[in-house]
Amino acid sequence: MFIARWLERKQPRFYARLDEMNRCETLWAACNPPDTGRWVEVVELNPFWIGKTLPASARYHARTPVTATGIYI
């Protein structure tokens, strides 16, 4: 029973919030996309990205930013 509950849990996903110049401001691990701000899903949390433009390989499947409604645009 414990194993079944453990398997049901959502695994955290990683997000980076970008500023207006596409530089990383914040990194976050969460099960759901953040509610506000300009966020993109990334493959890992790398503190060296903060203040810099994300490398192309950092984006998860090259998804575009997440809107406040959680819809990819």
Digitized pLDDT (tens) for each residue of the chain, 73 residues in all: 566 666 666 788 999 999 999 999 999 999 888 888 899 999 999 999 999 999 988 988 644 555 555 555 4
Closest CA to 66 of 36, 28, 25, 24: 36
Quote the pLDDT of residue 13. Answer: 92
Q: Return the number of other C-beta atoms located less than 10 Å from residue 36's C-beta.
A: 8
Nearest Cα to Cα of residue 37 among 52, 19, 59, 49 = 19
Amino acid sitting at position 36:
T
pLDDT of res. 43: 93
pLDDT of residue 49: 96
